[in-house]
Amino acid sequence: MRLKAPLKGKRILITGAGSGIGRALAIEAAKRGAVVALAGRRLQALEDTRDALVGDGHLAIPLDVTQTDSRAELRIELGRVWGHVDLLVNNAGTMPGGPLSQLSDESLQAAVATNLGGPIALTRDLLPLLRAANGARVVNLGSMFGQIPYPLFATYSATKAGLRAFSIALRRELKPLGIAVTHAAPRATMTAAASPFQRLARPFGMTFDPPDRVAHHVWNRVERGADAIYPRGPEPVFALLQALAPRLIDAAVHKQLLRAQSDVPLFAAGADSKLQGTGAAALPPKI
């Protein structure tokens, strides 16, 4: 479904808007004439983002997507101030990294709750405000990890694969209501949250996109009514190979993992596995 108009004048809610891709999406949307509600756990970060936006009427609203009361307060506030939401952007996320054996229960639970449970629940809670708009859209920020699952990011890959499936099913479910759904799958992005992964950049052949480039590409595709958004480059080909010839991807990724292990003792007892961060990232295999 193509948007009836570009972003100008649209009322857009972006979660995880205090930094990284969320902040870049907000800045780009405001440049295109949208009014933005910035949501996230850190109010000061949201206010810093709001200060960077052009235009008036932007909101900064504290939100923990994993908490029922927090989502309810957000819905009430947006209903009072706006009355409807044209675009919901589910961007908030957390990225546990490292060998699965070294991840805590808290890390696993936070990833599932924030990356998957939160977006599903928030979308459900905001359906009345989306239905009140004329041609609303939900944009879910996933990751190429959801297409090409990677070692050391098994939990993150699982949550992003789930978000992709949710997006596809929801698009089919909401079409009769006039609400469109877009799934965006960026690759690795140059944010502060990506800094813990720098040591894996060489062995895994990582490249990073600037957040503003990701935001520009996402909004260009959203304005054209895209159902799915992928980065420019070889990643869509790798995703196709993952579906059709997964053992080719297995072999390529195994070689990368061996290179990473030679640089960093990833599986050694007591090895530093605190590869924690937020946002969307992907490491395209080199085959």
Asked whether residue 4 is domain-assigned, the answer is no
Chain-centroid distance of CA 249 in Å reads 23
CA distance 62 to 241: 41
Residues written for the chain: 287
| 30-65 per-position pLDDT tens digit | 999 999 999 999 999 999 999 999 999 999 999 999
pLDDT band with cut points at 50, 70 and 90 for residue 244? confident
| 8-23 per-position pLDDT tens digit | 999 999 999 999 999 9
| 192-220 per-position pLDDT tens digit | 555 555 566 555 666 677 889 999 999 99
Asked whether residue 51 is domain-assigned, the answer is yes
Contacts of 266 by beta carbon, 8 Å cutoff, 6+ apart: 98, 99, 152, 260, 273
The total number of structural domains that make up the chain: 1
pLDDT at position 192 is 56
CA distance 200 to 211: 20
pLDDT at position 277 is 37
CA distance 192 to 48: 15
pTM score above 0.75: yes
pLDDT at position 197 is 59
- The mean pLDDT value of the chain amounts to 86
Asked whether residue 28 is domain-assigned, the answer is yes
Choose, from 82, 145, 150, 156, the residue flagged as catalytic: 156
Asked whether residue 170 is domain-assigned, the answer is yes
Give the domain range for residue 88: 11-263
Check pLDDT > 50 for residue 100. yes
**The sheet that has 11-15: what strands, in order across it?**
59-62, 35-40, 11-15, 87-90, 137-141, 180-184, 228-229
For residues 71-84, average pLDDT: 98
Higher per-residue confidence, 130 vs 277: 130
Asked whether residue 2 is domain-assigned, the answer is no
CA distance 118 to 207: 28
Asked whether residue 282 is domain-assigned, the answer is no
DSSP 8-state class, residue 57: -
CA distance 58 to 120: 24
pLDDT band with cut points at 50, 70 and 90 for residue 251? confident
| 138-154 per-position pLDDT tens digit | 999 999 889 988 888 89
CA distance 21 to 257: 27
Question: What is residue 189's three-state secondary structure?
Answer: strand
Residue 61, amino acid: I
Residue 75, amino acid: R
Known catalytic residue at 156: yes
CATH of the domain at 69: 3.40.50.720
Asked whether residue 213 is domain-assigned, the answer is yes
Asked whether residue 283 is domain-assigned, the answer is no
